[in-house]
Structure 1
């Protein structure tokens, strides 16, 4: 089924923008290209209109539109000044603003000269979030946007969740489409694990060829515009080898959730013959590989996660792990096959925790490892992820690190097959799909 092109709600992000409405900081929405940043600005503008703000107080400019593509920073200042209403607060929405040279001076001028509330999207094509704080002198708040969570995926693809009678007695959840057809939630989850959470997938439908075309466009844009062209614009020549960049992407995509040393990536590429194309006789330096990895992190293509010593209560400099921003992009890169599904669902859990506002680290306790320590404010959650808890051997392996932790914070094991027991000495065994849908 193909969903309509209506503007779909992303409440978790819209509520963050609403929380900062009419506060001094400039609101900067960042994230990988095509994850929904432009739509979020439209949703925020619609919220303002619904709550009594007049159209004349809202100025929306998309700098990818031909109407504004040649606008200079002076032109922008005059455009906004001419439309500003005396004695009224103005709401300024700038999408793809970084296409315009000198934009940062104009934005700061608006802050000084107008009574205004400013919203910007940070498409990584032109300026990445790490540079915003420099240009805006720390006067901004960053809203980090991700592709669709599983709960959002269900909504975007036109499914609703209903309780139906279970053959075992009681009820169970099923997904129902607009035609009234019922699907097992596991079917929908498998589709999510196959196609990923890019919002555009909902427009083309859950068809492999169309999904691949969309993912190819996102990949090409991120790599060519976000990284290769951006390096040229900044006058830097670190990221010049497109083939090496792709090999590093493939390596990281194939090794999500595994401990990775940047210094070992070059060795692995050479040892496995991945760079032997008659071009390169020596392995790339660690410095070079680090520059390429950093570019991928800045483009929000991959996220890195550090280790935290639970007993020593400090972050460690030992090997970290990398996760890919969208599991559909991983399948596009490596092919649609059942590969390393344990690390794939771990990847989904990592981004779900980020989406719920947690800071996330890997936990180390002695020689054992906890997949994730998720913290925010006074809350802490220890999380293990595995495909199944039905095997006694797996249960022992997954529970052991959590059993070594002496504090009283919540400890859970997430799996697709949690087994019959819902708790082991206070450690909860939860169904992964049910946990992903908690927010619904």
Structure 2
């Protein structure tokens, strides 16, 4: 079967395909521009795209990572368009291209479809370069982008079939806390959430795919062993500050030669594919921000779990990572309007900035008690006063309170309530 016949067969398969899809809390804007859904692999981009596809007319859905056409070329893309026009002659077609980053120079075809021919185009991609570089450069304002992350806790409960409203019974809350413990441990990838067994093996397979498809193959990495060691180090360093210089020396002590620039490049690649998020320290000086050490956050707690020898001994770190991802899900961008803060008085996990104003300070503490009261309350208030920010929030596993200290109020809120009733 030649490529044209394969393309026809794949298009027909998806037009006849039926899927039971659980809705996500993602709003896709109405626009005449190309609409791009980006995010980590297996986060549900294809399902979201397919859900929109099934609600449209005169449409063509095509997965560009299908092995029958892999690796796709610009000629593959052009052939898909030709077949679509034959199926819907003289019609305004809606094209859905899944994993568009697999096609080199894809933007040439997309610009023609949207600008000159007036067709509607939806795209998904696994690399954030689609947002920051490729689309911004090649489409020049002719597209809108929407990020998709693994399930939020609210979506997780929906996938588990748990219905709730503003009034919770004791039984409801007990079940929510049980689900939350599972969510913090195994994360929110849709397939993992729905799977009762083999969750860790599924996550390991995801990790292998992300490393090889989105980093090794995409960037032509030669020394895969160093990359794998670096990834393992970063995951184990979640919520902690890292020094690339110290890591270079650490590798050297193991007999592994790697340059500082190489590790910085690897970190950038892992950030591009939505896997690792390096968070910088807030300062009013751009130079100080760029030179500060990064705190490391991981896209999903499930990846932390598979490398966690202690098996969730430090639940506070799992909770902090989940808070970061939720903040990122809500549209706060690391090192743009989301930072951490540190000075001689202590550290604040998350600082949210709007223009030049500090809007909110957030600390994460699994359980507030006498032993950590100084850090979580007194030092927190002291930093809030220094930064002229009175909006202080302390996110916990299940503690809730309003603490007044030295003229300031700290809102203590459980993660589940913060994420469900925002």
Same fold (TM over 0.5): yes
Change beyond 3 A, Cα 1:188–1:114: same
Q: TM-score scaled by structure 2?
A: 0.83
Report the counterpart of residue 177 of structure 2 in structure 1.
Answer: 186
Report the counterpart of residue 412 of structure 1 in structure 2.
Answer: 393
Report the counterpart of residue 316 of structure 2 in structure 1.
Answer: 342
Change beyond 3 A, Cα 1:157–1:226: same
**Shift in Å, 1:362:** 0.9
**Shift in Å, 1:35:** 0.5
Change beyond 3 A, Cα 1:80–1:312: closer
- Does residue 289 of the first structure (1) align with residue 263 of the second (2)? yes
Report the counterpart of residue 246 of structure 1 in structure 2.
Answer: 228
Change beyond 3 A, Cα 1:67–1:404: closer
Report the counterpart of residue 178 of structure 1 in structure 2.
Answer: none
The within-5 A match list for 1:41-440 is 41-46=49-54, 49=55, 53=56, 55-56=57-58, 58-65=59-66, 72-84=76-88, 86=90, 89-124=92-127, 130-161=133-164, 172=170, 174=172, 183-205=174-196, 207=197, 210-232=198-220, 239-271=221-253, 276=254, 281-309=255-283, 315=289, 317-335=291-309, 337-359=311-333, 360-364=338-342, 367-375=345-353, 380-391=359-370, 393-399=371-377, 400-406=379-385, 407-418=388-399, 422-424=403-405, 425-439=408-422
Change beyond 3 A, Cα 1:313–1:368: farther
Q: TM-score scaled by structure 1?
A: 0.79
2:364 and 2:130 mapped to 1: Cα distance?
Answer: 35
Structure 2 residue matching 1:426: 3-state secondary structure: strand
Q: Which runs of 4+ in 1 moved over 6 A?
A: 125-128, 162-165, 310-314
Q: Deviations over 1:166-206 (max 9, x none)?
A: xxxxx54616xxxxxxx53221111112211111113323x
2:398 and 2:130 mapped to 1: Cα distance?
Answer: 43
**Shift in Å, 1:304:** 1.3
Q: Deviations over 1:129-181 (max 9, x none)?
A: 6433333234322212111111111111222236888xxxxx54616xxxxxx
2:365 and 2:285 mapped to 1: Cα distance?
Answer: 24
Which of 18, 22, 42 is 1:8 aligned to? 22
- The structure in which a higher percent of residues are helix is 2
Unaligned 5+ segments in structure 2 are 1-18
Change beyond 3 A, Cα 1:22–1:184: closer
**Shift in Å, 1:270:** 4.1
Q: Deviations over 1:86-142 (max 9, x none)?
A: 4x6432211123334442211111123222222100134997864333332343222
Question: Which is worse superposed, 63-72 or 246-255?
Answer: 63-72
Contact 2:316 2:365 in 1 (8 A): yes
Q: CA RMSD in A?
A: 3.0
Change beyond 3 A, Cα 1:358–1:287: closer
Contact 1:357 1:376 in 2 (8 A): no
Structure 2 residue matching 1:338: 3-state secondary structure: coil
Contact 1:164 1:174 in 2 (8 A): no
Structure 2 residue matching 1:137: 3-state secondary structure: coil
Contact 1:309 1:365 in 2 (8 A): no
**Shift in Å, 1:365:** 5.0
Question: Which is worse superposed, 261-270 or 152-161?
Answer: 261-270
Question: Which is worse superposed, 101-110 or 242-251?
Answer: 101-110
Change beyond 3 A, Cα 1:41–1:356: same
**Shift in Å, 1:409:** 4.5
- The structure in which a higher percent of residues are strand is 1
Change beyond 3 A, Cα 1:90–1:380: farther
